C-alpha cells in the first residue's frame, strides 16, 4: 500500500496534524463487510443524520456510544430468541455488528431514533464562539468580535 506524503500540507497549514491520522485510518480500514447498510446525509447547515438499516433488532439490542470523536454503533441479538425458532430460510441478517464513524471536531450526537427497522442518529456541528471569525484591530492590540452583543446593539 502506498504511503501519502503530507509534507506539502504541513508547509502552509497549522493545526491539521490530525488530518494525516484520519486519512491514514480511512485508507487502512477494511470496508469489505457492508453489514448493516447505512446512509450519511446533510439535513441542514451543520446538521447531519446517519441512518442504519437494523431490521430485526430491538432498541435494547443496540448500543450507541460517542467517545473522543468516534461514534460506535453495536448490535447484538439476544441469544434466547435465536434458539426458539427453526428457519426454513433466513434472509434477514441478525448477526452481531459494529459500525464506527469518525466525527469531525465539534460534531456532537443530538439524539437517536429507531422506527421501521431504521436507526437514525442525528448530529450537529456546533462551532464554539472562540472558534468563530474575529476582526483584529491593527495597532490597537484589541480584538473586535465579529458579532455584537445585545448590550452593544442597544447602546
At 153, which helix (H) or strand (E)? helix 150-154
Under DSSP, the state recorded for 104 is P
Chain segment 22-38, per-residue pLDDT in tens: 666 666 555 557 889 99
Distance CA 75, CA 97 (A): 5
151 lies in some domain? no
Exposure on the CB side of residue 59, measured as CA atoms within 13 A: 7
Chain segment 97-122, per-residue pLDDT in tens: 999 998 988 899 999 999 999 999 99
> Is 74 found in the same domain as 14?
no
Omega before residue 55 within 30° of 0, cis: no
> Is 52 found in the same domain as 109?
yes
136 lies in some domain? no
141 lies in some domain? no
Distance CA 20, CA 18 (A): 6
> Is 58 found in the same domain as 110?
yes
* CATH, residue 102: 2.60.40.790
> Is 40 found in the same domain as 7?
no
What is the phi-psi region of residue 137: left when phi exceeds 0, alpha when psi lies from -120 to 50, beta otherwise? beta
Highest mean pLDDT of the ranges 37-46, 75-84, 124-133: 37-46
1 lies in some domain? yes
Place of cell 422506527: 115
Q: State yes or no: pLDDT of 147 exceeds 80.
A: no
> Is 41 found in the same domain as 2?
no
65 lies in some domain? yes
User: Average of pLDDT values for 125-148?
Assistant: 74
> Is 15 found in the same domain as 61?
no
At 64, which helix (H) or strand (E)? strand 62-67
Greater pLDDT, 126 or 140: 126
> Is 78 found in the same domain as 23?
no
> Is 114 found in the same domain as 61?
yes
Distance CA 121, CA 111 (A): 6
Q: What is the reported pLDDT for 77?
A: 87
66 pLDDT band, cuts 50/70/90, is very high
> Is 100 found in the same domain as 43?
yes
Distance CA 116, CA 34 (A): 20
> Is 118 found in the same domain as 44?
yes
User: Average of pLDDT values for 129-148?
Assistant: 71
Please give the residue range of the domain that contains residue 82: 36-126
Domain count, the chain: 2
Q: What is the reported pLDDT for 127?
A: 83
Name the average pLDDT for the chain: 80
Per DSSP, helices labelled H in 5-149 are 7-12, 17-28, 79-83
> Is 110 found in the same domain as 40?
yes
Amino acid at each position: 500500500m502506498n504511503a501519502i506524503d503530507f509534507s506539502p500540507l504541513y508547509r502552509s497549514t497549522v493545526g491539521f496534524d490530525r488530518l494525516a491520522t484520519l486519512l491514514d485510518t480511512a485508507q487502512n480500514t477494511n470496508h469489505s463487510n457492508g453489514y448493516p447498510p447505512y446512509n450519511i446525509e446533510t439535513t441542514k447547515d451543520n446538521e447531519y443524520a446517519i441512518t442504519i438499516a437494523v431490521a430485526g433488532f430491538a432498541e435494547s439490542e443496540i448500543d450507541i456510544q460517542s467517545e473522543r470523536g468516534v461514534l460506535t454503533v453495536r448490535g447484538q441479538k439476544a441469544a434466547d430468541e435465536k434458539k426458539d425458532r427453526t428457519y426454513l430460510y433466513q434472509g434477514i441478517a441478525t448477526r452481531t455488528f459494529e459500525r464506527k464513524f469518525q466525527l469531525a471536531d465539534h460534531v456532537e450526537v443530538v439524539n437517536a431514533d429507531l422506527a421501521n427497522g431504521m436507526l437514525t442518529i442525528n448530529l450537529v456541528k456546533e462551532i464554539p464562539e472562540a472558534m468563530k471569525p474575529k476582526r483584529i484591530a491593527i495597532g490597537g492590540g484589541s480584538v473586535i468580535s465579529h458579532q455584537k452583543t445585545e448590550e452593544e446593539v442597544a447602546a
